[in-house]
Amino acid sequence: MKQENNLKGNLLSVLESFSNEDRVSDPNSMFNLWDDFYVPQSQIFEESFEPHERESLTLFANELNKFGSCLPQTIDNFETIYSHEEWPKVKKLAQETLVKHGWLND
């Protein structure tokens, strides 16, 4: 159970980073941490999230992958991310996913 809570908490923290620019210190870390914690094929991931939650996370992951493929391999600054025309869609989907499942931390 503890591993499940850690994975869920870590992944949701990263999702919050995509929804709120103020929470991030390194642009590359958002993507790297997402890749570290978004492991849908693992048993612990399945145990950590309900099916409808996993579906929402998969939708976000697909959108994030599309967005990431438009960016340079190494991101030098946040302006590279925030000025991209697709960024608002990624940010909005992160926010909507957090709200939909009651995952926002005040």
Measure CA 64 to chain center.
8
Q: How does pLDDT run across 25-39, given as a tens digit for each residue?
A: 788 888 999 999 999
Is 106 a member of any domain? no
Which residues, 6 or more positions from 57, have their beta carbon under 8 angstroms from its beta carbon? Answer: 11, 15, 38, 40, 49, 97
pLDDT in the model for residue 79: 87
Please count the structural domains in the chain. Answer: 1
Is 88 a member of any domain? yes
pTM for the model stands at 0.90
At 82, list the tokens: 């925030």
Contacts 24+ apart (CB under 8 A), 6-13: 7/37, 7/39, 7/44, 7/45, 7/48, 8/48, 8/49, 10/36, 10/37, 11/37, 11/38, 11/48, 11/57, 12/98, 12/103, 12/105
Q: How does pLDDT run across 56-106, given as a tens digit for each residue?
A: 999 999 999 999 999 998 888 888 898 999 999 999 999 999 999 999 864
**What's the domain range around 11?**
2-100
pLDDT in the model for residue 3: 63
